[in-house]
Amino acid sequence: LLNELRHRNRQPDIVPDPEGLVLADLPASDPGPAEATWEQHRRAVLRSALDELPPPQREALSLAFLEDLTHEQVAAELGLPLGTAKTRIRAGLLKLRSTLGPQWAALVAICLLAALGIRYGSEQAMLARYDRALSLVTASDSVNLRLGPVPGTAEATHARYRGRPGASIAVVTFSQFPPAPAGQTYQTWVRHGATWTSLGTVEPDAGGSARLIAEDPALAALPDGLEVTLEPRTGSAAPSGPVVVAWVP
């Protein structure tokens, strides 16, 4: 989710997509007239939503999610109390959500139904999933854990886990990851006690970024450990490959 902000900020010819509400998971194809109409409306809505953010909120969001700074670092960069920085970040995200929510629903009804046909239901489910993820990262009691590089991994390579006590959803963003070796993939794991649970696999884009939204009842409890490993491309039932980044309490 938040990785979309960073990814699109590095590509100025692509319109930013703050909520990650894109059809990126659909197979690429030449757009038909209805899909082209959808794209035009989508761009207009996103431009309008970003323009409506007050400058203080837009600035705080950029530092937090485009520059990958912690709340403490955002506060220091802007010369603000920590509470004020957190308030600006949360207010900006909530405003984006409230602005995009009703407009996006209307556009989906008008454009996706015609353009995607039977895929409409699955797209609605995907949008609902993104909405749950956004609710997570805007919650005042959400946690932000940084997975740092282990020895042998480039210093800039890292990931962030965002979770919330009682919520069975987590958002993991990946930054500065090199391409996985041939036949391998990055797999994310969360540990509770002695039990490791897979959150899924990812393939970073050309900029080394990726996003993973995972839902599992086990995520309602905060983790005792987190790591990203290199596993066979089909994934593993338990972590067995080399650890790339990790977090421990």
Q: Please, what's the b/e burial string for 212-231 (b: 16 or more CB within 10 A of its CB; e: otherwise)?
A: bbbeeeebeebbeebbbbbb
Question: pTM here?
Answer: 0.59
Q: What's the pLDDT tens digit per position in 23-38?
A: 333 344 444 554 555 5
| CA-closest candidate to residue 112, choices 38, 22, 46, 40 | 38
Q: Sign of the CA dihedral 119, 120, 123, 129?
A: negative
Q: pLDDT higher for 88 or 123?
A: 88
Contact present, 18 and 5 (Cβ < 8 Å): yes
**Angle CA(163)–CA(168)–CA(170) in degrees, nearest 5?**
35
pLDDT of amino acid 244:
97
Looking at the predicted structure, is the pLDDT value of residue 164 above 80? yes
Which structural domains are found in the chain, ordered by start?
A: 2-138 (1.10.10.10), 143-247 (2.60.40)
Q: What's the pLDDT tens digit per position in 75-100?
A: 888 899 988 988 888 887 777 666 66
* Largest pairwise CA distance in the chain: 53
Mean pLDDT, the chain, as a whole number?
75
Alpha-carbon distances of 115 from 32, 36, 123, 203, rounded to whole Å = 8, 9, 11, 28
Contact present, 190 and 170 (Cβ < 8 Å): yes
**Angle CA(148)–CA(151)–CA(154) in degrees, nearest 5?**
65
Looking at the predicted structure, is the pLDDT value of residue 69 above 60? yes
| CA-closest candidate to residue 207, choices 234, 178, 227, 184 | 178
Average pLDDT over every residue of 154-172: 92
Residue 45 pLDDT class (50, 70, 90 cuts) = low
Looking at the predicted structure, is the pLDDT value of residue 124 above 90? no
Looking at the predicted structure, is the pLDDT value of residue 157 above 70? yes
Looking at the predicted structure, is the pLDDT value of residue 60 above 90? no
Looking at the predicted structure, is the pLDDT value of residue 232 above 50? yes
